[in-house]
Structure 1
């Protein structure tokens, strides 16, 4: 029986899932390796890491490379045709070096697409996935196969409702509280402790001198979630704002796809949705009140979604 491989490549880690074609068992193995976002590690390095991860995974489960019928790689940072084509060419070289069958199919797409495919229940051919982690975006799939997206503009132009959005809102509120332009908040003590700063004024050197990375700012969402769990008003307001921003992604996708109805499946993924009950509950209640589809928990992982796409490549008639 042939096998397919699904790759979920992120900025910090990459997951490789090996699955039998048509097998009742959903997967036979899952492996992890370093990040493969080509804009972070470079296109050639990303391809080499994917090749090495596939090689090691197949050896570990004793699967011959010639038994691989298809590979799908969903990668962070790959959202345009030129990027997909460049990675497709580089990964093809890696597969050739692994001596996979010349009939092995390969697809390279965005990590958002495989996340959506993995999130939808079997038999569901349309829906919306909202992602809120370090960044944020949303993707919709119609029953006719049309893809539309909202967000994905990056942290300078967008990422509303994300961990970065929440972290920056918290830092801004701290400055307002320090000036007396807003009420005092426990965010101040929690974030100063997290950043190992003595006073709010030290944020100036931290932001403009050290120039923290996007991921570091996004990590401050943990302190906002903690403060909200203690009913801090500022923290609760920030998280509710984040949920509202995520709802606007869904609204935009409904406008782009008039065939969507109040029965359209909406699911969500990412650390903010996973760890903040307030964001998740506000988001789900907003969907219900505005008739923006029906919320469902994600069915499976992005890596599983990539394996599904690979299986469709191996058997096009089953798409």
Structure 2
């Protein structure tokens, strides 16, 4: 029996699975963040190794026995230099991890978990990213540039905008479009602020992206009836849809005619608030009266299995093995749109 590992990495948490040659998940584990832009390569290697050891133990495999392949789809893992350094460090420090390595970005794992034919993944978690993989293997991207100049529509982006709306109102710089009282109280309560200056350590000295992004969960849970909070999520829906519009010209025609329409895999916790995103999302794709996106039908899909499975599939593919995967069990439909409906 051969075994194939997969690592799904992210800016907040990561997951690992081990598949048998029959395509069954035989081992699982979870770990901390693995985005090397945030934690560095050394820490990334440490977390991956610990998860892999735990997953092997969970599968009843001797940790000193190398896997046939290990696929790592990591947030921030698209650059060849990082891939080479990461593989080199794993081989040097932990030679019993795997015989083969495949390292790429996190979006690839999500798509490979949902379908063997490609599709779109639109990530809206701590950060955001969008990637199209066509059946012919061509790849097109939009976003994924991190919190400094990107992450539009993500939990961090929504949280940062909420803070700014409150502080701009307090400064008299920009009057909000709706009453700011609830949003101000929520921001102050989440960060335990006594004065506005108390926010500065969170933003600079002790900056942690997941901590800032965590505000979004409170906004989504308790802010459904607050008009200003709802406007933040509406704007997030708009900007997430703009990612789809950006890559739409490159979509292979074959993917537009499959059952259910264009598959869009929606990854990240922000999608749990689809009811708050929906109006902005659809209005941007299909604005009344002009310039609708040329996609006539699409399905928003949520993974029911970890994207680490797709990472393992990609790793197995590199060594020439095609695992017997039932992809229909990996997704559930969040939303379906057809222009005729």
Q: Secondary structure at the match of 1:250?
A: helix
For 1:274 and 1:145, locate their aligned partners in 2 and report how far apart those are by CA, in whole Å: 30
Matched, 1:140 2:132: yes
Matched, 1:240 2:234: yes
Q: Secondary structure at the match of 1:157?
A: coil
1:315 pairs with one of 314, 317, 320 = 320
Q: Secondary structure at the match of 1:224?
A: helix
For 1:52 and 1:35, locate their aligned partners in 2 and report how far apart those are by CA, in whole Å: 12
Matched, 1:252 2:250: no
On the 8 A contact 2:110/2:265 being kept in 1, the answer is no
Post-superposition Cα deviations, 1:74-104, rounded to whole Å, max 9, x if no partner, equal 1222221111111122222345245x5xxx3
On the 8 A contact 2:124/2:154 being kept in 1, the answer is yes
Bigger share in helix: 1
Q: Report the CA distance shift for 1:285/1:30 in structure 2 as closer, same or farther (over 3 A).
A: farther
Q: Name 1:303's counterpart in structure 2.
A: 308
Q: Report the CA distance shift for 1:44/1:211 in structure 2 as closer, same or farther (over 3 A).
A: closer
Which stretches in structure 2 are left out of the alignment for 5+ residues?
A: 287-291, 325-341
Shift of 1:56: 3.5
For 1:204 and 1:20, locate their aligned partners in 2 and report how far apart those are by CA, in whole Å: 49
Bigger Cα displacement from structure 2, 260-269 vs 12-21: 260-269
Q: Secondary structure at the match of 1:145?
A: coil
Shift of 1:46: 2.3
1:159 pairs with one of 151, 154, 157 = 151
Matched, 1:193 2:189: yes
1:168-183 matches, cutoff 5 A:
168-178=160-170, 179=172, 181-182=175-176, 183=178
Shift of 1:67: 6.9
Q: Report the CA distance shift for 1:221/1:305 in structure 2 as closer, same or farther (over 3 A).
A: same
User: Over the residues paired in the alignment, what is the CA RMSD in angstroms?
Assistant: 2.9
For 2:39 and 2:148, locate their aligned partners in 1 and report how far apart those are by CA, in whole Å: 21
1:116 pairs with one of 111, 130, 133 = 111
For 2:280 and 2:132, locate their aligned partners in 1 and report how far apart those are by CA, in whole Å: 21
Shift of 1:9: 2.5
On the 8 A contact 1:36/1:76 being kept in 2, the answer is yes
Q: Name 2:262's counterpart in structure 1.
A: 264
1:1-319 matches, cutoff 5 A:
1-23=1-23, 25=24, 27-64=25-62, 66=65, 68-98=67-97, 104-118=99-113, 120-121=114-115, 124-178=116-170, 179=172, 181-182=175-176, 183-185=178-180, 186-198=182-194, 201-202=196-197, 205=200, 212-230=207-225, 232-257=226-251, 259=253, 261=256, 263-275=261-273, 277-280=275-278, 282-283=280-281, 290-292=293-295, 293-299=297-303, 300-316=305-321
For 1:129 and 1:150, locate their aligned partners in 2 and report how far apart those are by CA, in whole Å: 11
For 1:217 and 1:66, locate their aligned partners in 2 and report how far apart those are by CA, in whole Å: 40
For 1:189 and 1:234, locate their aligned partners in 2 and report how far apart those are by CA, in whole Å: 13
Which stretches in structure 1 are left out of the alignment for 5+ residues?
A: none
Tell me the TM-score normalised to structure 2 length. 0.79
Shift of 1:208: 6.7
Post-superposition Cα deviations, 1:274-318, rounded to whole Å, max 9, x if no partner, equal 245312564367557745351232343211111211232343577
Instruction: Give the paired residue count.
Output: 308
For 2:72 and 2:55, locate their aligned partners in 1 and report how far apart those are by CA, in whole Å: 15
For 1:94 and 1:2, locate their aligned partners in 2 and report how far apart those are by CA, in whole Å: 23
